[in-house]
Amino acid sequence: MITETIKAVSDSLQVVEHGAEDTSWIVHHILDSHELFGIIPLPEIHLFGLDMSITQHVVMMWLALIILVIAFTKTAKSYKISRAPKGVANFLEVLVLFVKDEIAKPTIGKGYEMFLPYLLTVFFFILTCNFLGLIPFMATASSNISVTASLAIISFFVVQIGGVIKNGFFGYFKGLIPHGVPTWLLPIMFVVELLGLVTKPFALAIRLFANMSAGHIVILALIGLIFILKTFIVVPVSIAFALFIYLLEILVALIQAYIFTMLSSLFIGMAVHQDH
Amino acid sequence: MEGFNVAHLAAGFGAALTVIGGALGIGKIASAAMEASGRQPEAAGDIRTSMIIAAALIEGISLFALVICILLALK
């Protein structure tokens, strides 16, 4: 919130003479940019006609990667010393057991061990990316539609490949259609179920992207209200509301990571155990 | 009515209608959850978990509409 205030001040000073009609600075702070924290320029790399430049969100994802690798290798090593975890292993064990007992086992049932590493990866990656976005001067990688779409596509492939491995290629597609359907409905049901397979990851991507972006946009809009109205009276109200939304954002970061993982494991469970 | 930007107006109306739908849906879920917790307080933990999942799914839908409103407002 401090960073948004400072950026809002410095940008609004440029916009004040136009009567603060231009609100594009809100969007500018949400989108990906080629400059880290607005100051350090990052390299632009164009490979094979694709834009593979290292942008702010890429650096945030690398930071999440480094944090997760360090935390989990320390956790794994501490289990060699004693079965009872101490320190960071203690905290991570709570979360790992939560994902295993509340998300993976109830939804996938038998054979959940094959999918547990993927579910844990997705849960902790999204959680770390969401929390990194709440720190001042950092950006939220999961508020980028490309990042969430990539996670959703990977979930889609895990679901399909898991279903095909457990049920066989034709058995999986035959099992998509529920029992007791009259024969003349079969072509339509098949198309509908195929479409359902595709829309579910789409919803996963958009849900995470919109939830993460909306929180930041609301905070920026509330603080920008001070500069649009140009009075001091609105300052305590605006800051109080922005603080409340900030706390709500912490809750939403946790909930969205949980929902993405829970829905992914639900789809895996539906694909693997196809008895309707 | 020349030069009147309808896209911004539509974005405002869309966001308001979306909020109405989302708030109604989540309100119904919360009221059902409260009632169920009152009937059987031992199941309150499970009910709370299911309530949060259902609320997040409904909020996902209202955020689809919000994304479209933002796209409209940026035109």
Q: In Å, how far is A208's CA from the nearest CA of chain B?
A: 8
For chain B positions 5-44, those within 8 Å of chain A (CB to CB) are none
- Residue by residue, DSSP assigns B7-73 as HHHHHHHHHHHHHHHHHHHHHHHHHHHHHHHHH-GGGHHHHHHHHHHHHHHHHHHHHHHHHHHHHHH
pLDDT at B3: 63
Which tokens is A145 given?
A: 């539609």
Question: How many angstroms separate the first and last alpha carbons of chain B?
Answer: 18
DSSP structure class, residue A180: S
Domain boundaries, chain B: 6-73
Q: Does the distance separating the beta carbons of A259 and B56 come in below 8 Å? A: yes
User: CA B68, CA B39: separation in Å to the nearest integer?
Assistant: 41
Q: Are strands A40-41 and A46-47 parallel, antiparallel or unpaired?
A: unpaired
**Domain residue ranges of chain A, discontinuous segments joined by +:** 2-272
What per-residue confidence (pLDDT) applies to A120?
Answer: 95
Q: Please judge whether B56 and A255 are an interchain contact, meaning their C-beta atoms are less than 8 angstroms apart.
A: yes
Cβ pair A96, A120 in contact under 8 A: yes
**3-state SS, residue A36:** strand
Name the residue facing B63 among A102, A210, A255 (closest C-beta).
Answer: A210
Phi, psi for A40 (deg, rounded to 5): -85, 120
Rg (CA), chain A: 23
CB pairs under 8 A between A and B: 33
Amino acid identity of A235?
Answer: V
Residue of chain A whose Cα is closest to the Cα of B74: A24
**CA B7, B8, B9, B10 torsion: positive or negative?**
positive
For residue A209, list chain B residues with Cβ-Cβ distance below 8 A.
67
Predicted TM-score (pTM) of this structure: 0.85
Distance CA A221, CA A164 (A): 47
Mean pLDDT in consecutive groups of 10 residues from the start of chain B, 75 residues: 76 92 94 94 88 86 86 80
What pLDDT does B1 receive?
A: 52
**pLDDT value of position A13:** 61
ipTM score assigned to the predicted complex:
0.79
CB contact under 8 A, B74 and A27: yes
Q: Which two tokens stand for residue B53?
A: 């999942």
Write phi, then psi, for A41 (nearest 5 degrees): -75, 145
Specify the 3-state DSSP secondary structure of A35.
strand
Q: What is the pLDDT of residue A275?
A: 73
Enumerate the residues of chain B whose CB falls inside 8 A of the CB of residue A207.
56, 59-60, 63
Mark the ranges of chain A whose per-residue pLDDT is less than 70: 9-23, 276
B contacts of A258 (beta carbons < 8 Å): 52
CB-CB contact of A211 with A142 (8 Å):
no
Residue A250: per-residue pLDDT: 93
Does residue B70 sit at the A interface (CB-CB below 8 Å)?
A: yes
Of A39, A206, A68, give the one whose Cα is nearest residue A131.
Answer: A68
CATH architecture of the region B6-73: Up-down Bundle (1.20)
Å between B25 CA and nearest CA of chain A: 17
Give B66→chain A minimum CA distance, Å: 8
The DSSP symbol for A115 reads: T
- Return the pLDDT at A63: 93
Alpha carbon A73 to its chain's center: 23
Within an 8 Å CB–CB cutoff, is residue B63 touching chain A? yes
Whether residues A262 and B70 touch (CB distance < 8 A) is answered with no
**In angstroms, rounded to a whole number, what is the distance separating the alpha carbons of residues A236 and A184?**
65
Q: What angle do CA A49, A51, A57 make, to 5 degrees?
A: 165
